[in-house]
Chain A
Amino acid sequence: MTETALPLQPGVKTEEKTKAPSALVRVAQYSLVRLIALFATVVVGVYLTIMIANMGGYVDEMRKGFIREQVAIGVGLDPALKEMTSAERQNHIDKLISLQEKRMGLDQPFLIRSFRYLSDALTLNLGRADNMASDSGSRQVRLIILERLPPTLLLFATAQFSLFFLAIFAALALSRNYGSLLDRIIIALAPTSAAPSWFYGLFLILIFAAMLGLLPFGGLVDAPPPDSIIDYSLSVLKHLILPVSAIVVSAVFLSIYSWRTFFLIYSSEDYVEMARAKGLSSRAIERRYILRPTLPTIVTGFALSIITLWTGSIVLEAVFNWPGLGRLFYQATNIFETSVIVGSTVIYAYLLGITVFFLDIVYALIDPRVRVGGNQGGRV
């Protein structure tokens, strides 16, 4: 904002002043359009999820069967109903079943139900779980999921930030002296990223937990959890080391490799050569002539890595017994808990949608090309 914001001619300044808000409006407009488009895609995605999760109504049949069984058992055990004749009892059972089905909305045709499920899912009114409960004892799917969100966020935020900054700085260092031994080693190691994080997780557990006994096999804290906050966080930190390392190890070499290549391509541009010829320090060149123009791409890369890793968490959390969203999903599929499965998928879809949306906004803010129309300065 400094160099060109102080022009000598006052005329230019006023002109810029009038144009600045229009750039803001443009960004806002752009964001709004993207928001609507993304919301539409989330709606479609969630609807598809509901269709798949219900197998075109099959899961509802399962639920109906479950209701029938529960009602029959309930009636059979009720001493007050012992006197009834079998026809009366059957009648009573049928009445209870239809009441239950009506309560759960199973009497409507599937198409209508599916749209009701959709609106429920989109408003995060995720219903109640039949066979799962949160640690605090609630059967509300939303509460179950919300309870599991913080550990997932903790794990993935830690891993993503360490991975991202490690990769960027290592890549910058390597691009400064490419062709060195270290550079060659990193290139040779890049194919190791073909394996997913849980795979390295198994190895890390094997080495550090099973053989050396240094770190825990998995979980979030020691059992029983320590009382003081400091001990608690230290314990969480100890449990974080292995899963975070698994994520970092599984991705770091490939991302260093690709960032390094990317920086190398940019550092062979003419204006960088020019800056070098001017005698600027290599740090200044990096900051002003390499990092700045590549910022949109770096941000995109960051957001994309988050997107791909959201769903990669399921197995990693299962392997490390990490009490997050992924393991919840895993447990729910094992006991066919549809409401939790759909709920988690909706949350995943929302998380992906939000990530893409932020990516778009940040992109609009930092990419000069998006702003060129409104602000001729093109300052970033």
Chain B
Amino acid sequence: MTAARRTLSALSRYPSAIAGLLIIAALVLLSIYTVIAIPYSEAIRLWRGGEGVWLETPRNALPSWVNLFPGVNLPDTLILDTESDLVTKTRQAVSDGMTDIITTFTFDYTADEFPQEISLFLTSKYDQKRPLVSLTWLTPDGREIRVADVTVERSATVRFSQESKLERRLKGLKPEIGLFADPEAGDDPKPLQGVYQLVAAGLAFEDESDVDARLVIYGQVYGLAGTDHRRRDLTLALMWGTPVALAFGLLAAVGSVVSTLIIAAIGVWFGNLIDAVIQRVTEVNMILPGLPILIMIGAFYSRSIWVMLGVVILLGIFSPGIKSYRAIFLQVKESPYIEAAQAYGAGNFRIIFLYLIPRIIPILVPQFVVLIPSFVFLEATLAVLNLGDPVLPTWGKVLSDARTNGALYQGHYYWVLEPAALLLLSGLGFAMVGFALDRIFNPRLREL
């Protein structure tokens, strides 16, 4: 423990190492929070749930914080249902059997841009005769625009953008633009700010019949991280990507480094044939193209992240690192304390695990820390090659989705930048700590 404390105090002399440690600590805290707040099954449900889960989120929306920039005022998503104060619902019997059910949505529109889409979700209760709903749009300057008349099944959705009659009534403007456009703005439509109303006047033909409505005005911003092409909230993927990336990086680094170390030590200690075999296998492994093999396994066997992790570790066992560990072990093997251990009758494996391997751990630690980000990026690399885990949301998956859906061509920069920033941040965090550790453990570097 004193060694660890000494290392920490030595690290604290490097500002970059402190920054790196802070980044790592933040990522670890975020992962712990994520795993507790959004359990695995919930995360899978939200990420894989399809349209139903994300019905009321906008598509490809920017993160909300872009509105903090000066001059940017994009609409947020508005969801109004009968529980809201902004919605009034009145019921009035007209004649026997016929009832007027009038739902009025009142909202203040203040954004400088048009919303992405407008949808009204209607549900009704009836026995035989379906209720009829006619929709009217009231603008702040007093215009009245008839939107549509619908007969409501058990549930119906009115997507304003698909109402072609409405589009014609709005002189060819897309409804989500035409309904909000300032009539005096001319050719370049600008939204008119003020209080809008949507009146859904329902006519029910049965006493027991009822109509409920829910208005969603999809904005152009959503949540902390925005949404992707399938309306999924990216916050979820970015948060869940953190524990996955850290676990993958850490396990892969531990697995490959420790196994390499043990193999190198065994080779050196037993020498002769075993050593020769290990050397040859290492040479074969150097020639084996690692990434193509990973890709083949991903394509043919399984794309599960844990299978990939296993293969990464397997390919890493006989890594070229064996050669450098071997050189050090050959020196250590001749040390007097090894001879002493042999003299008191220590077994082969006791010597390997208790006397040989601990000696080179100081050299190992920095290499190990520097290795972690390379495995984090490897996971992203696999995801970009469409070989990411099929169910788990990861940073790489987000990047890959963004790339395959042309985020760069269409200007959805946030979609690429967010996962990239997290990847870079974690990479930098580990690398900065690793470089500082390298200087601490290798005194020859320290004076340079």
| Chain A interface (Cβ < 8 Å from any Cβ of B) | 37-38, 41-42, 44-45, 48-49, 52-53, 55, 58-59, 178, 188, 190-196, 198-199, 202-203, 205-206, 209-211, 217, 261, 264-265, 307, 310-312, 314-315, 318-319, 329-330, 333-334, 336, 341, 344-345, 348-349, 352-353, 356
11 new A-B contacts at CB < 8 Å, known A41-B286, A55-B301, A329-B295: A37-B283, A194-B431, A205-B408, A206-B408, A217-B408, A314-B295, A330-B385, A333-B295, A333-B387, A341-B299, A352-B289
Question: Bound complex: CA of A37 vs CA of B280, how far in Å?
Answer: 9
Question: Bound complex: CA of A260 vs CA of B415, how far in Å?
Answer: 38
Q: What are 15 pairs between A and B in contact, CB < 8 Å?
A: A41-B283, A42-B287, A49-B293, A58-B300, A191-B432, A191-B435, A195-B423, A209-B408, A217-B409, A318-B384, A318-B385, A329-B295, A333-B299, A334-B386, A341-B295
Name the distance in Å between B45's Cβ and chain A's nearest Cβ: 28
* B377 and A199 within 8 A (CB): yes
* A195 and B427 within 8 A (CB): yes
* B384 and A52 within 8 A (CB): no
* A49 and B300 within 8 A (CB): no
* B292 and A45 within 8 A (CB): no
| Chain A positions within 8 Å of B409 at CB level | 210, 217
Question: Bound complex: CA of A333 vs CA of B385, how far in Å?
Answer: 9
Q: B288 at the A/B interface (Cβ < 8 Å)?
A: yes
* B287 and A352 within 8 A (CB): yes
* B420 and A199 within 8 A (CB): yes
| Chain B positions within 8 Å of A53 at CB level | 296, 300
Name the distance in Å between B55's Cβ and chain A's nearest Cβ: 30
| Chain B positions within 8 Å of A59 at CB level | 300
| Chain A positions within 8 Å of B417 at CB level | 206
Question: Bound complex: CA of A352 vs CA of B420, how far in Å?
Answer: 31
Given A191-B428, A209-B408: A41 in contact with B384 (beta carbons within 8 A): no
Question: Bound complex: CA of A335 vs CA of B374, how far in Å?
Answer: 28
* B291 and A312 within 8 A (CB): yes
Q: B361 at the A/B interface (Cβ < 8 Å)?
A: no
Q: Which of B388-422 contact A (CB under 8 A)?
A: 399, 403, 408-409, 411, 413, 416-417, 420
* B431 and A52 within 8 A (CB): no
Chain B interface extent, by class: 35 or more
* A178 and B291 within 8 A (CB): no
* B377 and A194 within 8 A (CB): yes
Given A194-B430, A265-B448, A333-B385: A314 in contact with B291 (beta carbons within 8 A): yes
Given A52-B297, A196-B381, A202-B399: A41 in contact with B280 (beta carbons within 8 A): yes
* B384 and A329 within 8 A (CB): no
Q: B373 at the A/B interface (Cβ < 8 Å)?
A: yes
| Chain B positions within 8 Å of A192 at CB level | 428, 431
Question: Bound complex: CA of A145 vs CA of B248, how far in Å?
Answer: 33
Contact of A41 among B284, B293, B430 (CB under 8 A): B284
Q: B380 at the A/B interface (Cβ < 8 Å)?
A: yes
| Chain A positions within 8 Å of B408 at CB level | 202, 205-206, 209-210, 217
| Chain A positions within 8 Å of B403 at CB level | 202, 319
Question: Bound complex: CA of A23 vs CA of B286, how far in Å?
Answer: 29
* B448 and A178 within 8 A (CB): yes
Closest to B408 in A: A210
Closest to A313 in B: B291
* B288 and A191 within 8 A (CB): no
* A348 and B292 within 8 A (CB): yes
Question: Bound complex: CA of A48 vs CA of B434, how far in Å?
Answer: 34
Question: Bound complex: CA of A75 vs CA of B355, how far in Å?
Answer: 72
Q: B370 at the A/B interface (Cβ < 8 Å)?
A: yes
Closest to B413 in A: A206
* A48 and B288 within 8 A (CB): yes
* A261 and B299 within 8 A (CB): no
* A190 and B435 within 8 A (CB): yes
| Chain B positions within 8 Å of A353 at CB level | 287
Q: B171 at the A/B interface (Cβ < 8 Å)?
A: no
Q: B97 at the A/B interface (Cβ < 8 Å)?
A: no
**Which interface residue of A52, A193, A312 has the most chain B CB atoms within 10 A?**
A52
Question: Bound complex: CA of A170 vs CA of B295, how far in Å?
Answer: 36
Q: B424 at the A/B interface (Cβ < 8 Å)?
A: yes
Question: Bound complex: CA of A264 vs CA of B448, how far in Å?
Answer: 7
* B291 and A311 within 8 A (CB): yes
Q: B157 at the A/B interface (Cβ < 8 Å)?
A: no
* A356 and B386 within 8 A (CB): no
Question: Bound complex: CA of A20 vs CA of B431, how far in Å?
Answer: 49
Question: Bound complex: CA of A190 vs CA of B293, how far in Å?
Answer: 29
Question: Bound complex: CA of A261 vs CA of B298, how far in Å?
Answer: 39
Name the distance in Å between B394's Cβ and chain A's nearest Cβ: 15
* B286 and A352 within 8 A (CB): yes
Question: Bound complex: CA of A25 vs CA of B420, how far in Å?
Answer: 54
* B283 and A329 within 8 A (CB): no
| Chain B positions within 8 Å of A261 at CB level | 445, 448
Closest to B290 in A: A311
6 residue pairs, one from A and one from B, having the closest CB atoms: A191-B431, A194-B427, A348-B289, A194-B373, A333-B299, A194-B431
| Chain A positions within 8 Å of B284 at CB level | 41, 44-45, 48
Given A42-B287, A265-B444: A345 in contact with B292 (beta carbons within 8 A): yes
Given A55-B300, A311-B292, A345-B293: A38 in contact with B431 (beta carbons within 8 A): no
Closest to B428 in A: A191
| Chain A positions within 8 Å of B290 at CB level | 311
Contact of A315 among B283, B385, B423, B428 (CB under 8 A): B385
Question: Bound complex: CA of A193 vs CA of B435, how far in Å?
Answer: 12
Closest to A344 in B: B292
Q: B16 at the A/B interface (Cβ < 8 Å)?
A: yes
| Chain A positions within 8 Å of B373 at CB level | 194-195
Name the distance in Å between B33's Cβ and chain A's nearest Cβ: 25
Question: Bound complex: CA of A53 vs CA of B299, how far in Å?
Answer: 9
* B280 and A336 within 8 A (CB): no
| Chain B positions within 8 Å of A206 at CB level | 408, 413, 416-417
| Chain A positions within 8 Å of B420 at CB level | 199, 202-203
Question: Bound complex: CA of A356 vs CA of B320, how far in Å?
Answer: 13
Contact of A336 among B299, B301, B435 (CB under 8 A): B299
| Chain B positions within 8 Å of A307 at CB level | 286
Question: Bound complex: CA of A344 vs CA of B296, how far in Å?
Answer: 11
Given A41-B280, A314-B291, A345-B289: A202 in contact with B300 (beta carbons within 8 A): no
Question: Bound complex: CA of A178 vs CA of B447, how far in Å?
Answer: 11
